[in-house]
Structure 1
């Protein structure tokens, strides 16, 4: 099983943690002010996997214009990142459970980071998702 990794906000106690990577599934936990955790089916045949998304994110060394986003096959995890001209990274995370059911649950939260943190985040993701 892979070592967990986290994305910690540079402006609050908010944190997005990835752990328990086992085959095609991994656990995602959002902490800080609100808390939620979900098991995510990470296999993504229709698009690149999440490790590729983090690699693409980490390749940026200067501010960019377009939003980078990824969504799991079953929609339980959505993550996107934008960068301001000053190098502030805004990561938006959505966790969903029981999509389409009467008891559907949904939480969305932002995490702020900085351009200089992207290599560390990307390396953590690479090590976590390495099989």
Structure 2
């Protein structure tokens, strides 16, 4: 949870505590409308503190989910690139007349296994 979220929760709870004390004092002096109003606002402040905690928790979960999706996408792109490169290499290897020609870029040929019919070096 971020410092901002904790500070907001602390402010909500401090305000709720002070208003709770005010509600108790007003009720003790038989000023019921003010006691009732202070009690309602106290409940709203506690609700605000709970919502701030839920919001912070949800934001952290969302951040973690986005990071995981980013990692998965990067792995998928990497795997796709490797697959594409591997397919190209296999295509070139299968198109070559022999392994020696493929390894040397066509400069040398293995006369024992080469499928090329023209003169070998």
Q: Which structure has greater helix proportion?
A: 2
Q: Which structure has greater strand proportion?
A: 1
Q: Which has the greater radius of gyration?
A: 2
Structure-2-length-normalised TM-score: 0.24
